[in-house]
């Protein structure tokens, strides 16, 4: 059962947020843009990703800090369900992108004489508009802006041991917030088949989160004119606090994706 769950997670997981290059391109393998289109025509890109991620940070509920420190070897045992998919539609130099991520985590941890049991359901949606600034046969550069939507349901149980009588804390919270984001993406052709990709964004600015950011660097390979695979490293961090709830976590790890355009 664990092997089946690991295969399912690896084929669908990850996270939030690998924008595709937008705008025009030449439908040849020497192009850095895996989306096939004409100079003013429409293009559509879809993708599924797997993300072997580690978590560093903590969740705060009613003044109780719960560590969310998970290594790469822990994540498959902790995830009950996960999905990540991307769809981008563009015309000419403009494109719009929807990037959806959902994960259901069960985390148990121990710190000193405290035992933590956490159920976390998390949705992240990136909704952006991108504009192509540089479009050359082997190089592309885009700027983008939009919103990152976070929605979480958290159930926490904390047990303090080592006392004459153990004490427990039980609490739950449901939070949804929206952060503005701005960013850039760059792609450089390395050969007829291989390309390098980098993506970065920053946001929050105190509107909801104090800070949210994303960074990715990866190497891609064109299988043919329509399909590509990308292997890279991605990190996304969020520092959010509202009343009795706080979420300050960095997710980072190796990313593997299959992209298809038409």
Domains and CATH numbers, the chain: 2-261 (2.40.128.90)
Dist CA 250 CA 228 (whole Å): 28
Look at the alpha carbons of 120, 12, 249, 20 in this order and tell me if their dihedral is positive or negative. negative
Q: How many residues can be counted in the chain?
A: 262
Q: What is the pLDDT of residues 181-218, one digit of tens each?
A: 999 999 999 999 999 999 999 999 999 999 999 999 99
For residue 6, pLDDT beyond 60: no
Q: What is the pLDDT of residues 161-186, one digit of tens each?
A: 776 666 788 889 899 999 999 999 99
Residue 217 near residue 187 (C-beta atoms within 8 A): no
Query: Residue 74: which residues within 8 A CB-CB, separation 6 or more?
Result: 54
Q: Which two tokens stand for residue 46?
A: 């879809």
Dist CA 256 CA 21 (whole Å): 17
pLDDT of residue 126: 94
Residue 199 near residue 18 (C-beta atoms within 8 A): yes
Dist CA 53 CA 255 (whole Å): 8
Share of the chain above pLDDT 90, in %: 47
Q: What is the pLDDT of residues 64-115, one digit of tens each?
A: 888 887 766 666 666 656 778 899 999 999 999 999 888 887 777 777 778 8
Q: Which two tokens stand for residue 186?
A: 């760059």
Whole-prediction pTM value?
0.80
């Amino acid at each position: 059962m664990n092997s089946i769950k690991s295969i399912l997670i690896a084929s669908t997981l990850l996270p939030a947020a690998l924008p595709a290059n937008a705008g025009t391109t030449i439908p040849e393998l020497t192009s850095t843009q895996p989306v096939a289109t004409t100079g003013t025509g429409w293009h559509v890109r879809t993708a599924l990703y797997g993300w072997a991620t580690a978590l560093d940070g903590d969740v705060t509920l009613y003044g109780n800090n719960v560590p969310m420190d998970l290594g790469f070897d822990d994540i498959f045992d902790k995830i009950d369900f996960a999905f990540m998919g991307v769809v981008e539609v563009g015309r000419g130099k403009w494109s719009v992108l929807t990037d959806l991520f959902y994960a259901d985590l069960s985390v148990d941890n121990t710190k000193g004489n405290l035992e933590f049991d956490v159920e976390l359901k998390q949705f992240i949606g990136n909704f952006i508009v991108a504009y192509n600034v540089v479009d050359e046969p082997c190089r592309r550069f885009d700027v983008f802006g939009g919103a990152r939507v976070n929605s979480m349901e958290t159930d926490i149980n904390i047990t303090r041991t080592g006392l004459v009588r153990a004490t427990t804390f039980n609490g739950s919270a449901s939070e949804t917030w929206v952060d503005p984001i701005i960013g850039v993406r760059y792609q450089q052709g390395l050969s007829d088949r291989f390309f390098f990709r980098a993506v970065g964004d920053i946001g929050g600015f105190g509107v909801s989160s104090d800070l949210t950011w994303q960074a990715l660097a990866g190497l891609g390979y064109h299988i043919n004119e329509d399909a590509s695979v990308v292997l890279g490293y991605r990190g996304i961090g969020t520092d959010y606090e509202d009343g009795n709830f706080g979420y300050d976590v960095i997710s980072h790890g190796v990313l593997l994706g299959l992209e298809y355009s038409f």
